[in-house]
Structure 1
Amino acid sequence: MSPSSKIKHIVQFTELTSVYKEEADNSVYNIYKEETKTNKAYCQAVIDKIFNLPYAKLPEFFSHHCIFLADPIKWLNKFEKLISENEELFTTSGNQGRMIKCYTIIESKRKEIEQTGYKHTAAKLPMMYVNAECEERYFSFKETKKKVHLAGSYTDKIMFLTKEKFDYEQASIDFINPKLPDYSTQCQKEIDQIQHINRLTNEFSLDVSQSNIGIMPHNKLKINCNINQLVDVYYQLHRELFTDGKPIIDGHINDITAVIVNSFVDKDGRELSPQTIRTLLTPSRTDKRPKPHKRIDIDKLL
C-alpha cells in the first residue's frame, strides 16, 4: 500500500468479494480474506487495487468482483461512495483521471446489470453460482443439487433433474457464465451418477438376499457351563474323534470359530470373543482347555 492511497474514510459493505487464497485462481483482481479480515481492511484493499491496476484493467476488475455478489448494484453503490468519501486521495496524488474513470465504469456497470435484469439478484444468489439465465428464470446447478438431495425417492430425483435439463435446453438463454460448466451437462452427469448408485445398491441387495436363502432365523443359545468346556467338545469332534478316518467335524479352525461365535453367548448373555475361541481350538493350547476331571468326554457318550 502506497502512502498516497491510504484511505481516511470507510463505508460499510454488506457483501465482501474477498476469497481464500487456496480456493482462488491467480487473478490480479482478487482480494484475499486472509489479508482483509475487517471491513476497513477490505475498503483499503479495493482502493489499493484501483490505484495500482493499469487503466485498461479497471473495467475487468469491477466485472470480476460482481461475479461474487448476490446484489452487485448495491456493492457498486458502496464502492462509488467509498471513492467519493476519499476523493482527496485521488486529487492530491494526481489520480483524478483514475477516479473519474472508476465513476464512469461503475455507472456503466450499473446500467448493464439493470438492463439485463439478472434473476439471481432477487434470489440472493451470487452470480458465481449461476450457470445461465433466460428471460423467465436462472439456472444454478448449485441450487439444483441441493434440491436433488432433498428429494425423497430415486424417481423424484431423476424426474426433477430430467425436467431441469429439458427446461434449460428448450430455453432461450441470454446469459451464460463462462466460468461454470454447461448446466445441461451437469444435470446429465448427476442423473448418470444417481442411476449408477441405484443400480449398484440393487445389485448389492440382491447379493445379500441370495446369500441369506436357506438360513433360518434364530437366536443365539446360552452356554450355562464354562466356555472352554463347550469349545472343548468341538475340539474333540474336530481333533480326537474320527469316523472312517475323517474327523467327525471337518473344517478349518476359523470356520469352527465362526460357528461357535455366531451360535452361542455366555451364561450372562455376552458375546463370545473369536480370539478366545480360536485359542481354545488351537492344539498346542492345552493349558486353556478344561482339566481332565472337568472335561465333557464325548467319546464316552458315543
Structure 2
Amino acid sequence: MQTAEFVELLAVPQAQAKNPVFDIIVEDKITIQSYCNALIAKILELKQSQFPAFIDYQFNQVKNPEVWICKLEKLLANNEAFFSSKTAMSRYNKLYFLIEKKRSELQSSSVKEPVAKTPKKFINAESEDRHFSFYEIKKQLVTCQRDEEKILLLTKEMFEYQQASIEFINQKTPMYDVQCAKEIEHIYALQKLQAAVEQTKREQNLNQLPFKKMQINCNLNQFIDIHYQFTRELFVDGKSMIDGSVNDLVAIIVNSYVDKDGKDISPETVKTILTPSRTEKRPKPHKRIDIDKML
C-alpha cells in the first residue's frame, strides 16, 4: 500500500467510533501508513451510493477539506492496482468524479481573482450553463500527471457536452466531443507504442546471457597489455586482430573483469595502459606475455 501525505489523520478505534459506517477505524497507533490502509479499506467496504455521504462526513471532520480531498486523489492514484477489477474500477471512477465535483464546489465557494476570459475563437460551443473550449481542456491536460486522469477528464467533458442543450456552435472549430474522443485515442495510441518499446527492451535483455565479472589472476597491466597487442601490434590482412574504439575496449574490460584482489578496475587505469605513449605503464619486456610467439 503506497501512502499519500495526509496532514490530518482523523481516525479512531472501533470502540470510540461515533459513526462506525463512515469513521476511519485504526486500532493501533495512528500513522500515515495505518491511516491510508484504513481509508482504502473503507472505500472498498462502502457501497458506491454511500460515497457522497462519506466524503461529506470527512469534510465536516477535517479542518482543511481542500487539502484532504487532494490527498485522497493522490492516494487513489498511488494505489490504482487495488481497483484493477471491473467492479473496483467502477468505484475508482465514481470517487474521481466526486473528487472533481467537490473540488469545483470548494473553488466556487471561495473568493477567486478574476480569470482571463477565453477568446471567442477558442470556444467550440456554448450552452445555457457553460461554454466548451478544447483550448482550455488542453491546458488542463498539461497539469495531469497520469494518463488515467487525462482520460477521465476528457470522458467527463465529452459526456457533458453530449448531454448539454447547446445554444451556440463555433463553425470554425471542430466538434468539441470529437476533439475529446480523438485526444483519448491519441493517449491510447501512445500507451500502446510505449508498451511495444518496453516489450522490445525486455526481449533484448532476455536475449543477453547473464554473467558475473571474472577475476584476473595475473598483474592488471599484463592482462590489459594483451588487449593492447591485439589492437595495436597484431594484424590480419592489414587489420588489427581486434578492431574497435579504445572507449569500447575500456568498457568491455571494466564491465567484465575484476583485478586479482577482486576489486573493480578503474576505467582511467585501463585507458592509460592502452595509450601508445605510456609504455612505462605496460609490463617490462621480460614480464610481458608475448602473444605473437604463441600464434
TM-score bracket, normalised by the shorter chain, equals: 0.3 to 0.5
The higher radius of gyration belongs to 1
> TM-score, structure 2 length as denominator?
0.41
Q: What TM-score do the two structures reach when normalised by structure 1?
A: 0.41
